[in-house]
Structure 1
Amino acid sequence: MAGDPTKPTSGNDVRPANSPEARKSGTLPDARRSTSDDIAAFVAQARATSPHRAGARGRLVFALDATMSRQPTWDMACALQADMFREAGSLGSLDIRLVYYRGFNECRATGWISDSAQLAKLMGKIACQGGNTQIGKVLSDARREAVAAGVRAVVFVGDAMEENVDELCAKAGELGLLKVPVFMFQEGGDAVAEQTFREIARLTGGAWCRFDPGAAAQLRELLRAAAAYVVGGRDALQQLAKSASGAARLIGQMK
């Protein structure tokens, strides 16, 4: 693919987790166990800057597995991300933070992006590479952004899970305390991934949904539903559920 996403191009360029700039800014911090004091502190701060306050922009963390087997789905998600902005546009405004992992211990994130063309351009520069899953880093980044900038929901699209389940559930529980639902969209039928994805969704008050490999229409409906929730909350999701199956699948599971 054209371009090198590791080179700075703008304020929304993709930044590696292990770069000096990333370490300074706190983007995708190294995983560590949280103490009770840590949890109390970030919950208190999150309540003071709630993303659900009046006038707040809808902020969505859009996380993707970019390991080698995921290239067809990555290309599909690149084409479908504009549907999230269009759905949100009828209700308000949407900012998306793209987070992805690939290769050997590589996990990167963009800044907050409010334009689908800009997001598509960034995604078009990224090629999938072989490697293990790094869902824990995705959840850690979502937690940090929830406290620092306000996040209304996380969308994760993937097909596998190769990490410690209990550690992932602990991170999911922290997002649940912050009232940040995680929508786990699973491609395919891997049983280990399903069990973990379901539990992450349950602990955060989100939802787990499976879509068939290469099923663009199914994924499009799920992404539209997530965007509607981020901008308009449960009311918007319930309204969309009257005409869209993806929204109905989400609202049926959310607490």
Structure 2
Amino acid sequence: MTRDRTPSPLDRPADHDSATPAPLSASDEIAAFVAKARAMSPHASGARGRLVFALDATMSRQPTWDMACHLQADMFREAAALGSLDIKLVYYRGLAECRASGWVSDSDTLARLMGKIDCRGGHTQIGRVLAETRRQAVESGVRALVFVGDAVEEPIDDLCATAGELGLLKVPAFVFQEGADPGAEQALREIARLSGGAWCRFDPGAAGQLRELLRAAAAYAAGGRDALRQLAQSAHGAALLLGQMR
């Protein structure tokens, strides 16, 4: 990956923690998540929306990665009409590489970050994406996760457990699957359902389909369910997401 002279905000591993907390039992962790969810007001008036934008950057995804570099600006434009949006880019590729950027508040900066990344062969690391989103939800009030990918190569039950924790934190995962792999669809649908989010499929290279879905997710992150409901009156992608959310 090409690097500037200054440290890149993508240099931090997605599962990095500055300190290692004492282990908690499963019941303690669930209680903590529920307490946090009740204390948070994710769509308070005047608050900036925060969205984790996660992409599979393994070799099979290069064409869609290039497309997403162009389409991500639509998320900011949609959010600008509703308020404001900060995005954290998370990606995985290669041999156990999963990284996260800092919070980005404009499309040009996000495009530059994405432009520095090339896709590399490797296995999926969706579990690390979900864990990073969970951590950010607790620390900084993330409103939603967008995940774009085409495969699942991890134990489904482990992914579902973390997705359920996102549901307790009221952080829906909007999962956009490229292609029609049935095994991936089963797992990705369940991740979306347990988090309280939505799953949609788009055809490889279908920029229009992905653009609509990204706009809809940004609308939710910036303005909540009311904003998504309003967009659904004129946009099919938003209607698809809204129809699945519990």
TM-score (norm 2): 0.93
Q: Is the aligned partner of 1:14 residue 2:10? A: yes
Q: Is the aligned partner of 1:24 residue 2:15? A: no
Write the distance in 2 (CA, Å) between the matches of 1:229 and 1:103: 32
User: Quick check: 1:206–1:254 contact (8 Å CA) kept in 2?
Assistant: yes
Tell me the secondary structure at the aligned position of residue 104 of structure 2: coil
User: Quick check: 1:17–1:23 contact (8 Å CA) kept in 2?
Assistant: no
CA deviation string 1:52-98 (max 9, x = no partner)? 23322100000000001111111111100000000000000000000
Write the distance in 2 (CA, Å) between the matches of 1:57 and 1:64: 22
CA deviation string 1:204-223 (max 9, x = no partner)? 11100000000000000000
Q: Is the aligned partner of 1:251 residue 2:245? A: no
Q: Is the aligned partner of 1:197 residue 2:196? A: no
**One-letter code aligned to 1:142:** T
How many residues are treated as equivalent by the alignment? 245
- Of 105, 108, 112, the residue aligned with 1:121 is 112
Write the distance in 1 (CA, Å) between the matches of 2:179 and 2:24: 31
CA deviation string 1:119-162 (max 9, x = no partner)? 00010000000000000000000000001000111000000000
Going from structure 1 to structure 2, the CA distance change for 1:33 and 1:222 (only over 3 Å counts) comes to farther
Question: Gapped runs of 5+ residues in structure 1?
Answer: none
Instruction: Show the counterpart of 1:38.
Output: 29
User: Quick check: 1:43–1:177 contact (8 Å CA) kept in 2?
Assistant: yes
Tell me the secondary structure at the aligned position of residue 14 of structure 1: coil
**One-letter code aligned to 1:17:** P
Going from structure 1 to structure 2, the CA distance change for 1:136 and 1:5 (only over 3 Å counts) comes to farther
Q: Tell me by how many angstroms 1:34 deviates.
A: 6.2
**One-letter code aligned to 1:140:** A
Instruction: Show the counterpart of 1:77.
Output: 68
Going from structure 1 to structure 2, the CA distance change for 1:204 and 1:5 (only over 3 Å counts) comes to farther
CA RMSD of aligned residues (A): 2.1
User: Quick check: 1:95–1:114 contact (8 Å CA) kept in 2?
Assistant: yes
Write the distance in 2 (CA, Å) between the matches of 1:33 and 1:116: 39
User: Quick check: 2:14–2:132 contact (8 Å CA) kept in 1?
Assistant: no
**One-letter code aligned to 1:40:** A
Instruction: Show the counterpart of 2:3.
Output: 4
Identity of aligned residues (%): 71
Write the distance in 1 (CA, Å) between the matches of 2:72 and 2:4: 18
Q: How does 1:162-201 map to 2 (within 5 A)?
A: 162-201=153-192
User: Quick check: 1:16–1:106 contact (8 Å CA) kept in 2?
Assistant: no
Q: Tell me by how many angstroms 1:185 deviates.
A: 0.1
User: Quick check: 2:12–2:99 contact (8 Å CA) kept in 1?
Assistant: yes
Going from structure 1 to structure 2, the CA distance change for 1:160 and 1:128 (only over 3 Å counts) comes to same
Instruction: Show the counterpart of 2:129.
Output: 138
Instruction: Show the counterpart of 2:52.
Output: 61
Going from structure 1 to structure 2, the CA distance change for 1:167 and 1:84 (only over 3 Å counts) comes to same
Instruction: Show the counterpart of 1:207.
Output: 198
Q: Tell me by how many angstroms 1:6 deviates.
A: 11
Going from structure 1 to structure 2, the CA distance change for 1:68 and 1:5 (only over 3 Å counts) comes to farther
**One-letter code aligned to 1:244:** A
Instruction: Show the counterpart of 1:151.
Output: 142
Which shifted more, 210-219 or 36-45? 36-45
Q: Tell me by how many angstroms 1:18 deviates.
A: 8.0
Q: Tell me by how many angstroms 1:198 deviates.
A: 0.6
Q: Tell me by how many angstroms 1:189 deviates.
A: 0.3
- Of 225, 232, 237, the residue aligned with 1:234 is 225
Question: Gapped runs of 5+ residues in structure 2?
Answer: none
Q: Tell me by how many angstroms 1:23 deviates.
A: 3.9
Tell me the secondary structure at the aligned position of residue 64 of structure 1: strand
